[in-house]
Structure 1
């Protein structure tokens, strides 16, 4: 039976049985929240599954890609993904990943997020997650342990949302355009070009894209560029090279987009991840994004 001090090392056992036993154990656990650590090798894929608890998925080291029928979300270091209870999802490891997950009962406290989202992990939340995994798991905690888990729960609704989701439209014409874009991101794609390629009027296109993704084309395009840029920046590639490869005419233009989306310059953002003590590790292989 897993508990807070036992780290699951994917690769050291039958992985299918490991996950199946963990999910069964989670269904039997009591208490509002359970914190479990896992170590994953590069390229490992957790198949489609769901939990009766919501999951706060936090990678201490490495980058993960979470896929649902609604789209894909990238979770770099210093971030976490909130996955509501009952949501079918799979997880792909981009590089060696040291994962810490907190599984939360849906009605544990008022105000928990209702939808999928990537959030920034504050210093306080990072410390709470690290402390929570040391506690006995699966039961009702009292004293210091109970206080830690209670504060962790109340911090979840306050975590800042980050625009690291990339939902795909359901229309096959629009989805094809999105797949083409993420294969070769460029900041110069226009609404008129996309509308013409889809055989739609500008007005019909913008309405359909907004309705099916929840985002404007401009915002979606910027998020796609972030998906392409973050792993390369984490690997220490020069900002100039990344910006030019993505089609930006100048480094300042790329930095302006990055700051608008993530609230910090690329250098400041990556330095913040390193300064948090989590490390920044480059995922090997290419970043593949497809319509679910």
Structure 2
């Protein structure tokens, strides 16, 4: 894990790393910001605040000092950026998941081969300056699941997550907590910023992204997250991602391994 103890020697450094299916990285903190960019496969990133799923050609901006862990689904080629938080005054100060533009992806891939120290006025310096300009234009997308903080909701959400195929209702959650449905709804809104139904739908979507990337069929994925039919699952999936499940499984880009 880079730059956990050492400081950056430049305002921005590009770095390539390839993960195998099932790899994990324990919680760690970088002394700089990071833009974690996947060329293929799926990375689940967990922080104290919540979980993000980074799919092909997406990137997650992680501010300096934010503890995070990684779980890899599929073979993942990461082309990541480590950025001095002061490199630009208006870089994000919270985690932001965004689609990486084709320009930004090409710039990052090119930057990996460039020296960490650049001379002023050179092509290399201009490439990194343009990358910083592109990072200021990140548009958030909703592949995020907030984590609960109270012990009661932590336990409930863990139970829900372990049985996503069950047709959970707010009534089920209320019975589990020994509270009214209205109280459960209020607690979800206050603690997670989502209704119970919204949180469960988002949990199912993010798990579906991981299952599909690991090679599960559309039918098996639909059943695993509680849908009775592939068509209903496909409709939900396309409404949230813009792609059908069969279109989603990311292509392997022709980028040479390290």
- Length-normalised TM-score, structure 2: 0.86
Q: Quick one: which of 228, 241, 263 aligns to 2:207?
A: 228
Q: Quick one: which of 109, 115, 123 aligns to 1:136?
A: 115
Aligned length: 255
Map 1:170-189 to 2 at 5 A: 170-186=149-165, 188-189=167-168
Determine the C-alpha separation between the residues in 2 that align with 1:96 and 1:161: 25
Contact 1:187 1:248 in 2 (8 A): no
Map 1:1-292 to 2 at 5 A: 19=1, 22-25=3-6, 27-31=7-11, 33-139=12-118, 142-186=121-165, 188-270=167-249, 273-274=250-251, 277=253
Determine the C-alpha separation between the residues in 2 that align with 1:117 and 1:57: 10
Contact 1:162 1:262 in 2 (8 A): no
3-state SS, counterpart of residue 39 of structure 2? strand
Give the root-mean-square deviation of aligned CA atoms: 2.5
Which segment is superposed worse, 135-144 or 125-134?
135-144
Contact 1:60 1:278 in 2 (8 A): no
Determine the C-alpha separation between the residues in 2 that align with 1:141 and 1:134: 18
CA deviation after TM superposition for structure 1 residue 169, in Å: 0.8
5+ long unaligned stretches in structure 2: none
Moved over 6 A (4+): none
- Length-normalised TM-score, structure 1: 0.77
5+ long unaligned stretches in structure 1: 1-18, 280-292
Change (3 A) 1:146 1:47: same
